[in-house]
Amino acid sequence: MGLTTDEHFKFAMQLLAVIPRASNSQFPIASCNCNSTCFNLQMLEGLIPNQVFKNLQVLSLSTLIATLPPYSFSLPNKRREMPSKEASLLGEEVKVPLLEAQPATTDAIEQNQDSLIQKVWVESKKLWHIVGPAIFSRVASYSMLVITQAFAGHLGDLELAAISIANNVIVGFDFGLLLGMASALETLCGQAYGAKKYYMLGVYMQRSWIVLFICCIFLLPIYLFASPVLKLLGQPVELAELSGVVSMWMIPLHFSFAFQFPLQRFLQSQLKTAAIAWVSLVALLVHVFVSWLFVFRLQFGVIGTAATINFSWWVLTLGLYSYTVWGGCPHTWTGFSLEAFSGLWEFVKLSAASGVMLCLENWYYRILILMTGNLENAEIAVDALSICMTINGWEMMIPLAFFAGTGVRVANELGAGNGKGAKFATLVSVVTSVIIGLVFWTLILILHDKFGFIFSNSKPVLAEVNKLSLLLAFTILLNSVQPVLSGVAVGSGWQSYVAYINLGCYYIIGVPLGFLMGWVFNQGVMGIWAGMIFGGTATQTLILGLITIRCDWDREAEKAKLHLTKWGDPKHDLI
């Protein structure tokens, strides 16, 4: 059966690519007097149909020349009719010059540049599809706590202090742990979604609900015995008692974490972040209204203030759950499954590693505040540091959104078996986050003596904020990289390794160095903060960066497949 026209054309193209390398073949390699590469197409006349030959002659050769070696060869100008005539035909040569090599190479480079720009644009759209709504939802959640404290401040100093301690100490203790444990879903759900094992996303989320709910039960004594714990830590009796009452009223908030955090990661992994943003907006508006109603209209006092945060967070939780089960995720949510009770121990180990990883980061800056509070005449230093930490907290919502977005993108690509795609997603995310970090770093340096007026009119406090602004700027810059690299770790399933890195960098290097700079060298709060930044955060960022650079992404993709084979259920794959 004869070859088709397309098959003849492909054969001719393959032959052209092979001829330059066949120096020992029957076709002689000859030198040429021209400066450019040249070759003869006419030897193909006897091998392919006339129409294909004509098409080949008019083909743009700029693409071919970029792939051929920089030497020339000449071929006979007669049609190849019979093998017996080859010897007589080899003596006749006709040389056809090609396009200049340099312009062709330039065109190829420009095409590669255009291709790279297009790839960056496509990856950036995928990334911002996750990061944009994630920034909004995180800012909305953070704003609920700020609004709660603002309403409590109108009740009195004692009420404000009680709400602040309950939020930052009691709730903050388990918030980081449960949030970190839920981030295990960013690894599992992200990789399962990339591998199109959609059914397993719902199973993974149900496993996370079970594990986090049990963890909430074990953490419940922190809320039940908040008053004696705070007294043990040296808090005034009246403040400890009121904080204990507020903490008891925040138990519903505590249990909402077990369901809301997995729901958020479940939706993020399948790029349904717009739903999270809309539900967060509704919850924020409800929170403002209920806070006004309970505190000013009904005058429920500090108990009403605590109740508002419960109400709003459960609105957020139920809103995400309703979206999930009422048609928002038809492929990934197929109802409750008994499979959720299998493989729990493996899930617990990964969740625990994720929780420890994030807790060690979350508690690090709380230790900074505690260490500053033990300085002599620490009131001004603590006030100034609190202002800087508030600014840092608002800005951290952006890197934390990149943490989530990077984890999802890396997990999706690894789950799909695309190691190079995961590497490229990491590069785009890191560069984008660093650019944003540089913008805020510049703003802090420019406004170093002005942003403190938002929070205080005290000249000593403002002067201290001005001194600390340089450290704040570098903290923001480092935090633009570190959460993104942590997101890469989550997407790749490296949580246990990062937990050890965080422990060593933060608590073996950072805290002792901060103590040394603050007390031994008498540098005060600046010494403590500088030691913890450049000793802990910078070291951790450097190590994570080296691990990411040296990562074998193809091997990570294979490991992701093994993960999914071990925990997944291929019977439910959707093609």
Least confident of 6-20, 179-193, 376-390, 444-458: 6-20
d(CA 70, CA 136): 55
Give the confidence band of 76 by pLDDT, cuts at 50, 70, 90. very low
CB 510 within 8 A of CB 364: yes
d(CA 500, CA 491): 17
DSSP assignment string, 362-403: HTHHHHHHHHHHTSTTHHHHHHHHHHHHHHHHHHHHHHHHHH
pLDDT of residue 107: 57
CB 392 within 8 A of CB 537: no
Give the confidence band of 81 by pLDDT, cuts at 50, 70, 90. very low
Q: Which helix (H) or strand (E) holds 268?
A: helix 251-269
Structure tokens at 517: 């700079």
Residue with tokens 């093998």: 83
Which of 137, 30, 37, 108 is closest to 75 using CA atoms? 30
d(CA 261, CA 113): 41
d(CA 326, CA 73): 69
List Cβ neighbours of 370 (8 Å cut-off, separation of 6 or more).
Answer: none
Give the confidence band of 313 by pLDDT, cuts at 50, 70, 90. very high
CB 152 within 8 A of CB 291: no
Q: Which amino acid is at 196?
A: K
Burial class (CB in 10 A: 0-12, 13-18, 19+), 180: buried
Reply yes or no on whether the pLDDT at 400 is more than 70.
Answer: yes
Higher pLDDT, 457 or 96: 457
Which of 196, 189, 214, 526 is closest to 388 using CA atoms? 526
Which of 467, 330, 335, 483 is closest to 403 using CA atoms? 483
**Percent of the chain whose pLDDT exceeds 90:** 26
Tens of pLDDT, residue by residue over 373-384, are 667 666 678 778
CA distances from 112 to 102, 106, 109, 126 (A): 15, 10, 5, 21
CB 260 within 8 A of CB 317: yes
d(CA 429, CA 455): 33
pLDDT of residue 109: 58
> To 5 degrees, how large is the angle CA 70–CA 76–CA 82?
135
Reply yes or no on whether the pLDDT at 478 is more than 60.
Answer: yes
End-to-end CA distance of the chain: 36
Which of 511, 560, 573, 572 is closest to 539 using CA atoms? 511
pLDDT of residue 57: 47
Give the confidence band of 279 by pLDDT, cuts at 50, 70, 90. very high
Give the confidence band of 105 by pLDDT, cuts at 50, 70, 90. low
The 3-state secondary structure of 147-164, one letter per residue: HHHHHHHCCCHHHHHHHH
Q: Which amino acid is at 98?
A: L
Reply yes or no on whether the pLDDT at 113 is more than 70.
Answer: no
Give the confidence band of 471 by pLDDT, cuts at 50, 70, 90. very high
Tens of pLDDT, residue by residue over 523-548, are 888 899 999 888 888 999 999 999 99
Least confident of 67-81, 206-220, 383-397, 537-551: 67-81
- Cα Rg, the chain, nearest whole Å: 32
Least confident of 47-56, 159-168, 299-308: 47-56
Reply yes or no on whether the pLDDT at 346 is more than 70.
Answer: yes
Which of 266, 243, 265, 251 is closest to 314 using CA atoms? 251
- 390, 391, 397, 400 alpha-carbon torsion, rounded to 10°: -90
The structural domains of the chain, with segments of one domain joined by +, span: 5-101, 118-345, 363-560
Reply yes or no on whether the pLDDT at 16 is more than 80.
Answer: no
Least confident of 15-29, 190-204, 494-508, 512-526: 15-29
CB 526 within 8 A of CB 537: no
Adjacent-strand bridge partners of 411: none
Higher pLDDT, 365 or 114: 365
In a 13 Å sphere around the CA of 386, the CA atoms on its Cβ side amount to: 14
pLDDT of residue 10: 58
Give the confidence band of 211 by pLDDT, cuts at 50, 70, 90. very high
d(CA 294, CA 62): 74
Which of 289, 264, 260, 286 is closest to 277 using CA atoms? 264
d(CA 69, CA 21): 8
Mean pLDDT, the chain, integer: 78
Tell me, yes or no, if the pTM score tops 0.75.
no
Structure tokens at 33: 């007097």
Higher pLDDT, 91 or 122: 122
Mean pLDDT of the region 33-59: 46
Least confident of 48-57, 61-70, 307-316, 550-559: 61-70
How many residues does this entry show for the chain?
Answer: 575
d(CA 491, CA 318): 27
Tens of pLDDT, residue by residue over 413-446, are 988 889 899 999 999 999 999 999 999 999 999 9
Give the confidence band of 29 by pLDDT, cuts at 50, 70, 90. very low
Least confident of 139-153, 205-219, 314-328, 554-568: 554-568
CB 356 within 8 A of CB 180: yes
Which of 250, 169, 259 is closest to 214 using CA atoms? 259
